[in-house]
Chains A and B, each alone.
Chain A
Amino acid sequence: GAGVSQSPSNKVTEKGKDVELRCDPISGHTALYWYRQSLGQGLEFLIYFQGNSAPDKSGLPSDRFSAERTGGSVSTLTIQRTQQEDSAVYLCASSLAAALHEQYFGPGTRLTVT
């Protein structure tokens, strides 16, 4: 079946602009996660959704970052007034439920802020 998809695959933006990153999880997966991975670094948790609710936003680095999920499916991560330190690969994952660690990842969006 279809896996997790993300768009765009690459995004280059100028400092100060807003960007939106999209994630389509696996159908039927109620849990959705956003992570980011900087060059050569490990995974950094950003936010977790259960259905349309985000019980854990603790990883969002600043109030410039926000995310929403609609219809228990598609999620959008928005970064306002982008900064160069926001450059990273943004990864989305989904799982059947939060307690299951079989998280299935999308290919990621590589964000470059110039």
Chain B
Amino acid sequence: DAKTTQPTSMDCAEGRAANLPCNHSTISGNEYVYWYRQIHSQGPQYIIHGLKNNETNEMASLIITEDRKSSTLILPHATLRDTAVYYCIVRARSNDYKLSFGAGTTVTVRA
């Protein structure tokens, strides 16, 4: 998604927290931050979303800065199965339902 900027790749150690940054400096007031991931040869998987408050679910936590210009997805205890391409997108909750992903961040979790 051209509205977001993510690092191309990152490595993290198994069992450690993985912190994935995303910049979205042009985000509008009605746009949410969504994270998806795609494990090799699988369909995309929804992870989490948020508007301005930090969010946590069973998969991850999402930390959004106060100015909403950037966010961080946190995988608290990365496992080898978390190796995937992670996509950060911003979308308004409208009828703009066509998902599109940018290049994302390729995360490799190493034992």
Contact = CB atoms under 8 A, between A and B. Distances in A.
B34 A106 contact: no
Contacts of A31: 97
Interface residues of B, number: 19
Interface stretch (B15-23, B41-49, B59-67): B41-49
Given A42-B100, A42-B101, A45-B100, A99 B95 contact: yes
Given A102-B46, A107-B43, A108-B43, A43 B100 contact: yes
A105 B45 contact: yes
Interface residues of A, number: 23
Majority DSSP secondary structure for residues of B touching A: loop
B43 A106 contact: yes
Nearest to B34: A101
A107 B93 CA distance: 25
Contacts of A33: 97, 99
A101 B91 contact: yes
Contacts of A99: 93-95, 97
